[in-house]
């Protein structure tokens, strides 16, 4: 859920005061009373404060895509925009870091190999050049 109201403001609010949220589907802001917000945070309420309406909530589910964590293969749910913006998906930051670290080294090896291939090709090219010039 995306809370627009600042944490300091929320702290000073009474349970009947309205907190402003941003709908994760249509980006419109909507308000819910603080009581519901604290119930959601403590798990007392099964409501989600991610969407302004049931319509947005159900529409967002259509756009949800199942994928797997690239590192530990755990099943993940991503919304469509989050899915297309990233090629690799991770369940948490530590999985992303592990994957990133490993691929930095292979990337380095690959580029080293490419460099040596390039050098060999250049040698060949020079060889042909000399051959044709003669
Ligand atoms: Zn909405
Ligand atoms: Zn993972």
Q: What separation in Å is there between the alpha carbon of 83 and the centre of ligand 2? A: 16
Q: What is the SS3 assignment for 67?
A: strand
Q: 85 C-alpha to center of ligand 1: Å?
A: 21
Query: Quick one: average pLDDT of 16-28?
Result: 95
Residue 106 has pLDDT above 60, yes or no: no
* Long-range contacts from 92-96, C-beta under 8 angstroms, 24+ separation: 95/69, 95/70, 95/71, 96/71
Give the Å distance between the CA of 67 and the centre of ligand 2.
Answer: 11
Do the bridges between strand 64-68 and strand 75-79 make them parallel or antiparallel, or are there none, so unpaired?
A: antiparallel
Indicate yes or no: pTM above 0.95: no
- Average pLDDT, integer, range 105-122: 63
Q: Give distance in angstroms: CA of 67 to centre of ligand 1.
A: 24
What does the pLDDT average to over 23-31?
94
Highest mean pLDDT among 19-23, 83-87, 122-126: 19-23
For 34-69, what is each residue's pLDDT tens digit?
999 999 999 998 888 999 999 998 888 887 888 999
- pLDDT at position 130 is 43
The average pLDDT across 6-22 equals 97
Quick check: 125 pLDDT over 60?
Answer: no
d(CA 63, CA 35) in angstroms, rounded, equals: 30
List, as ranges, residues with CB under 5 A of the ion ligand 1: 23, 25-26, 52, 56
Per the model's pLDDT, the better-predicted residue between 112 and 104 turns out to be: 104
Q: Kindly give the distance from the C-alpha atom of residue 89 to the centroid of ligand 2, in angstroms, as a whole number.
A: 8
* Token digits of residue 53: 């309406």
pLDDT at residue 81 is higher than 90: no
Distance, CA of 15 to CA of 113 (rounded, Å): 63
């Amino acid at each position: 859920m995306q809370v627009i109201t600042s944490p300091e403001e929320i702290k000073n609010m009474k349970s009947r005061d309205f907190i402003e949220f941003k709908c994760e589907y249509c980006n419109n802001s909507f308000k819910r009373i603080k009581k519901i917000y604290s119930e959601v945070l403590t798990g007392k309420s099964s409501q989600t404060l991610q969407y302004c309406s049931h319509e947005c909530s159900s529409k967002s589910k259509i756009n949800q895509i199942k994928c797997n964590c690239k590192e530990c293969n755990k099943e993940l749910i991503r919304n469509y925009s989050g899915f297309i913006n990233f090629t690799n998906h991770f369940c948490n930051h530590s999985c992303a870091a592990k994957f990133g670290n490993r691929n930095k080294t292979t990337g380095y090896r690959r580029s080293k190999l490419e460099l040596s291939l390039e050098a060999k090709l250049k040698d060949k090219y020079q060889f042909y050049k000399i051959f044709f010039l003669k």
